[in-house]
Amino acid sequence: MRRLLIRAASIAAASTAVAAMVPTATAVAAQELSFRPLHYNINGYNWGGYAATGSGFSSVSATWTEANATCNSTSDLYAPWVGIDGYGSSTVEQTGVATDCSSGRAVHQAWYEMYPKSPVYLSTSSYPVSAGDSIHAAVTYVSGRTYKLTLSSSRGWTFSTSQSISASRTSAEVIIESPTGAYPNFGTLNFTSATVNGRSLGSFGPTALDPSSGGAYEATTSALGSSGTSFSMRYLRE
């Protein structure tokens, strides 16, 4: 997955532009229903979810149930993942599961990436993933230039690898991303047990991001739950 590099200027521009961006929708009038504006978070472009910023980030983890996604086109590609760095820095240490529609059907495949290196996709026979599987992902800074990336599945498998990179550790994220800017219809994806540095994601006051492409939002990010460790992503459009 490609990382999103956001600078202060682009954040300000995105905040200004958000009010003008409206998702494609069909409105149906009904009596006794109130029409309320749909609230949007900061424009995350190809990212949706939460990013905590600061310094000294050493771990991030979260759990989700792999969605039963429906392909709109062969361009659809997205992945839930967790990672350190990437929000305002030039590296990302990340791992998750991609859903790829290039074959005409949704294919799930686990992966990790030490951006700017290319992603490494895991064997689908050794590390199979299907809709409905519970996935737990974690990235941990070990020491020096070493990071440990771990994925585990309710199917019973666990994958772990140690990788080396020079990175700033200035952000930590729980994210969905579409490198192609085209999402399959994943319905609602729920993240739970989201922690950063062993504490709730919410305790870091993270930035909520909504992904967009072509001038319209593609999904919305919910508020964090009361524990600060859960939130949901809701599909809007491809």
Query: Length of the chain in residues, anyone?
Result: 238
Report helix, strand or coil for 180.
coil
How many Å apart are CA 235 and CA 80, to the nearest integer? 13
Domains of the chain and CATH, by start? 8-20+36-235 (2.60.120.700)
**CA–CA–CA angle 154, 156, 159 (5° rounding):** 100
How many Å apart are CA 5 and CA 100, to the nearest integer? 23
- Report which residue type is found at 225: G
For residue range 186-215, list pLDDT tens digits in order. 999 999 999 999 999 999 999 999 999 988
For residue range 114-151, list pLDDT tens digits in order. 999 999 999 999 999 999 999 999 999 999 999 999 99
